[in-house]
């Protein structure tokens, strides 16, 4: 009987603590979908202008869960939409804090991949998985990926295939984009995406669409608009990856555009834009992707 009493008391205490934690949740000023920001059209707009701390450029753009109710920022910090109100950014349960960068979420929302540069952990790519509505402890992704000297970005498709940039001997000169297929719980030896995308310049900060029919990435090719521009390549079954296409003057400037990411609903393209040495989160209608695709057909 005493055991039952103490068990019930423990359950009640646990529930009360959970309730207290919910009550103590601090909310930001942001309300509504996408933090209540006015949706952009064909011209990029700054997303939540005062969301980022000044003079601290983020290493990665925001990523959303498929239901749109959680947003993850480099750090790794999370904001949650609770009854229409967004919480203040707090470190995620699995975060090693500021050295964790470039989070990406799988299309089903069950995995987060990110890169860690903090000294308390081996440097590399980590993965957490949703288990009973909670994130698991972080673990390093397959050794075939983590033993490669590479850049700090990664993107995952619906099939679990990953795309990332790396400096691998035998490439095209700078950092190139590679693909590693996921099969039977293991990743295959990465394959270079080829010379239609990769070149003697650096190619990095890749985003792959859930169905792997296009990728967006940054490159500092000399024929671009400026420092680093965003490019897009479309995949055709019979031809493979097409030549990278500069995404145009509406997106790219004389300064840097990096770390692209398309929202799970396919509506918006996010990226980090550097203007006069000041980094901001930008977003724009993802219709630009189909506009560019259609132009290639004519």
pLDDT higher than threshold 90 for residue 58: no
Q: Cα–Cα distance between 89 and 183 in angstroms, integer?
A: 35
Confidence check: pLDDT of 248 > 60? yes
pLDDT band at 1 (very low <50, low <70, confident <90, very high): very low
DSSP class of residue 97 equals -
Beta-carbon contacts of 147 under 8 Å, excluding residues fewer than 6 positions away, are none
Identity of the highest mean pLDDT range in 69-73, 113-117, 121-125, 130-134: 69-73
pLDDT digits (tens, 9 = 90+) for 198-221: 988 888 899 999 999 999 999 987
**Cβ neighbour number for residue 238 with a 10 Å cutoff:** 4
Q: Which residue has the higher pLDDT, 226 or 80?
A: 80
Segment of 100-104, 151-155, 165-169 carrying the highest mean pLDDT:
100-104
Q: What is the mean pLDDT of residues 227-242?
A: 93
Q: How many CB atoms lie within 10 A of CB 225?
A: 17
Mean pLDDT of 138-152: 79
**Per-residue pLDDT averaged across 228-255, rounded?**
94
Cα(51)–Cα(17) distance, integer angstroms: 30
Q: What is the 3-state secondary structure (H, E, C) of the chain?
A: CHHHHHHHHHHHHHHHHHHHHHHCCCEEEEECHHHHCCCCCCCCEECCCCCCCCCCCCCCCCEECCCCCEEEECECEEEEEECCEEECCEECCCCCCCCEEEEEECCCCCEEEEEECCCCCCCEEEEEEEECCEECCCEECCHHHHCCCEEEEEEECCCCCEEEEECCCCCCCCCEEEEECEECCEECCCEECCCCCCCCCCEEEEEECCCCCEEEEEECCCCCCCCCEEEEEEEECCCEECCCEECCCCCCCCCEEEEEEECCCCCEEEEEEEECCEEEEEEEECHHHHHHHHHHHC
- What is the average pLDDT score of the chain? 86
Q: What share of the chain is helix, strand, coil (3-state, %, to 5)?
A: 15, 40, 45
Residue 7: pLDDT over 80: no
Task: Give tens-digit pLDDT for 67-104.
Answer: 999 999 988 999 999 999 999 999 999 987 777 889 99
Of the listed ranges 102-106, 172-176, 232-236, 258-262, the least confidently predicted one is 172-176
pLDDT on residue 8? 30
- pLDDT value at 22 more than 60: no
pLDDT at 121: 61
Greater confidence (129 vs 99) lies with 129
CATH number, domain 26-35+54-297, options 2.120.10.30, 3.90.180.10, 3.50.50.60, 3.40.50.620: 2.120.10.30
Percentage of the chain modeled with pLDDT above 70: 86
CA distance 229 to 247: 8
Please identify which residue in the block is written with the tokens 């009640």.
12
- Examine the pLDDT at 150 and tell me if it is beyond 70: no
pLDDT of residue 262: 98
Distance, CA of 90 to chain centre:
17
Q: Which of 54-68, 125-139, 168-182 has the highest mean pLDDT?
A: 125-139
More confidently predicted of 5 and 106: 106
Q: Which of 98, 210, 237 is nearest to 155 (CA)?
A: 210
Q: How many CB atoms lie within 10 A of CB 199?
A: 18
Q: What whole-number percentage of the chain has pLDDT above 90?
A: 61
């Amino acid at each position: 009987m005493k055991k039952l009493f103490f068990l019930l008391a423990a359950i009640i205490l646990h529930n009360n603590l959970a309730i207290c934690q919910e009550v103590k949740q601090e909310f930001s000023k942001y309300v509504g979908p996408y933090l209540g920001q006015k949706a952009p059209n064909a011209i990029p707009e700054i997303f939540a202008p005062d969301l980022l701390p000044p003079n601290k450029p983020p290493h990665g753009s925001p990523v959303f869960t498929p239901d749109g109710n959680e947003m993850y920022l480099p750090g790794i910090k999370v904001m949650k939409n609770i009854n229409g109100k967004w919480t203040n950014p707090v470190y995620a349960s699995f975060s090693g804090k500021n050295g964790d960068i470039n989070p990406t979420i799988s299309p089903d929302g069950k995995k987060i991949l990110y890169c860690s540069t903090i000294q308390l952990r081996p440097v590399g790519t980590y993965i957490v998985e949703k288990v009973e509505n909670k994130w698991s402890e972080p673990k390093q992704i397959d050794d075939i990926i983590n033993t490669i000297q590479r850049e700090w970005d990664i993107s995952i498709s619906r099939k679990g295939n990953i795309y990332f940039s790396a400096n691998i001997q035998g490439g095209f000169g700078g950092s190139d984009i590679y693909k590693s297929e996921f099969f039977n719980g293991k990743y295959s030896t990465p394959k270079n995406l080829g010379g239609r995308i990769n070149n003697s310049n650096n190619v990095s900060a890749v985003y792959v669409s859930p169905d792997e029919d296009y990728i967006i990435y940054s490159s500092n090719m000399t024929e671009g608009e400026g420092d680093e521009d965003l490019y897009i390549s479309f995949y055709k079954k019979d031809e493979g990856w097409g030549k990278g296409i500069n995404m145009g003057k509406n997106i790219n400037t004389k300064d840097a555009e990096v770390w692209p990411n398309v929202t799970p609903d396919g509506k918006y393209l996010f990226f980090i834009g550097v203007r006069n040495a000041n980094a901001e989160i930008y977003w724009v209608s993802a219709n630009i992707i189909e506009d560019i695709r259609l132009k290639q057909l004519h």
